[in-house]
Chain A
Amino acid sequence: MKAAVVVFPGSNCDTDCYHVLSNVMKTPVAYVWHKERILPKVDLVVLPGGFSYGDYLRTGAVARFSPAMEAVKKHADQGRYVIGICNGFQILLEAGLLPGAMLRNRTLRFVCRHVWLRVEDVHTVYTRKMAKGDILCIPIAHGEGNYYCDEDTLRLMQDESRILFRYCSEGGILGDAYNPNGSTDHIAGITNKKRNVLGMMPHPERASERILGSTDGRMIWESLFEG
């Protein structure tokens, strides 16, 4: 499997993603500058975290009009894989590749710490090596990760098992105390109807090597590459 990391002005997790894909997962990977209209032939596109366009207007609102995003949409429409992490997730929401929108964190604070995630569905290429109910320890780092969608959309995603990760306690219990940003239904990561696009606020690339304290994020890459 080959991968590309799209770099927007203000991306700051692009090299982390490149490093994990290339050096940890031993996957061929290329950077794609956001001005590119054509993607290299790859199976996976990663939209990395950061502050594209300084988060001006709304997070991800300007990046979604970058020329590369047209190619990313086509890539997704063809059923190939797209992961948006943090700001990448926000861009996917603004681009309409995933439903909903992000609001300011309930506390209005930027939150940067490890959180616990409960795996809610394993019928995707991103979660197929996990078991339902597995608990992952992966860091978040965002000020606008308070996921919002209307009730109909939420019900649809619940019915279609498209919520892949929820914030939880270390023991897997859901509750406001374990929800770091106020997200609707404790949502930390979702997929689209075709299940080829993943958006998540936690950073798996920061939890893919033992030296960083957790390797739970590797499960996502392993699901993708070794499924």
Chain B
Amino acid sequence: MYKAMINVTLKKSVLDPQGQTVLRALETLGFQDAKDLRVGKFFELTLEAQDADQAARQVRAMCEKLLINPVIEEYSFQVAKEGNVPKS
């Protein structure tokens, strides 16, 4: 079994009203060091695969078919054997 950690954010060219609202809230709370913020999505997926390469291929296909909308979103991911999950 493999575990995939998939991060999805809006493309840089797409305005993120949610991220801007959260950034302004941080500023209001006194976190003046916060300069930019994008709100995204995180998927934690367990899947069967023969090896990490095959798992990565599967994850990419899933992202492109359903998990992300390429018009507005971009994604990155990591895969690891289950029980061997990369620490973030």
Residues in A neighbouring B10, C-beta threshold 8 A: 103
Q: Which residues 144-179 of A sit at the B interface, judged by CB distance below 8 A?
A: 146, 148-150
Interface string of B46-82 (1 = CB under 8 A from A): 0000000000000000000011010110000000000
Binary B-proximity of A116-148 (CB < 8 A = 1, otherwise 0): 000000000000000000000000000000101
Task: Assess the A103–B66 pair: CB atoms within 8 A.
Answer: no
Q: Is the Cβ of B14 less than 8 Å from the Cβ of A65?
A: no
- A214–B83 Cα distance when bound, in Å, is 61
Instruction: Say yes or no: A108 contacts B66, CB within 8 Å.
Output: no
Closest to B21 in A: A108
Residues from chain B with Cβ under 8 Å of A65 in the complex:
66
Does A14 reach chain B (CB closer than 8 Å)?
no
User: Contact residue range for chain B?
Assistant: 10 to 19
For B17, give its contact among A57, A99, A101, A105 (CB under 8 Å): A105
Interface majority SS (helix, strand, loop, mixed), chain A: loop
B66 to A61, Cβ gap below 8 A?
A: yes
A side interface size, CB within 8 A: 20
B71 in contact with A100 (CB, 8 Å): yes
Question: Cβ of A101 and Cβ of B71 under 8 Å apart?
Answer: yes
B88 at the interface (CB under 8 A from A): no
Q: Could you mark each residue 92-107 of chain A with 1 if its beta carbon is under 8 Å from any beta carbon of chain B, else 0?
A: 0110000111011111
Task: Tell me, yes or no, whether A58 is within 8 Å of chain B by CB.
Answer: yes
Residues of B near any A CB (own CB < 8 A): 10, 13-15, 17-18, 21, 66-67, 69, 71-72
Which 7 residue pairs of A and B lie closest in terms of their CB atoms, listed nearest first? A101-B71, A101-B72, A106-B17, A101-B69, A104-B17, A108-B17, A58-B69
